[in-house]
Amino acid sequence: MTVIPPPYAVVPRIPADQPFVVQPSATKRALLLGGLTLGTFLVVGSLLAVFLTVLFDPGFAGVMGIVGCLLLSGLFFTGLQFAVQHRAGPALAVGPDGLWIRTRPFRSGGIWLPWAAVAEVYRRTWLPERYLCVRPHDPRAGQHLGGFGGLDAAMSKGVFGTGLLVSLRTADRSEDEIMRAVAWFAAGRVPVR
């Protein structure tokens, strides 16, 4: 059984022994990232090919070489992001006392929030992603995250209203199942919408 730390404790990894645990789904993430990367690079590559052909006339092989290098570099960085995210362990763990949530989308650190410290739990959509957002009562809840963690949290807070969020589209459980579990464990102590 996990020892419950004081509120806002940042831990290196979210414990997986809680009653309800959400892991990132490798298949869903690969399909989403792969589709976005391929679509983006096909559009950008086509535009670049037309641009290079009109301006420089490098020939078909030259254009395809440049576009191919760009596509490979994009796939490399997408694969790197994919690998980092899926080694990080659980993204969310919920229990009767509170919840553990990742402090950064692509790293393993998590923060413990008892239900009394949570102001609200809500969903937000950003482009193809849908997120479960947790807003704590105390704005100091995400202070000790380090330099990059603080930057991630500040950007997320500007877009979503909080720096504590978990992807619902790429989770190993369905969005409805996750929201029902959070609402059930919150037991009316926190608004879940």
Burial class of residue 157, CB neighbours in 10 A (0-12, 13-18, 19+)? middle
Section 182-191 average pLDDT: 94
Spans of all domains in the chain: 10-23+90-186, 28-86
Tell me: the pLDDT tens digits for 5-38? 656 777 778 888 899 999 888 777 778 777 777 7
Tell me: the pLDDT tens digits for 27-76? 777 787 777 777 887 787 778 777 777 777 777 777 777 777 877 887 78
From the centroid of its chain, how far is CA 126? 11
Tell me: the pLDDT tens digits for 159-172? 677 778 888 888 88
- Confidence check: pLDDT of 78 > 60: yes
Tell me: the pLDDT tens digits for 111-143? 889 999 999 999 988 877 888 989 888 877 766
- Confidence check: pLDDT of 1 > 60: no
**Chain mean pLDDT for the chain:** 80
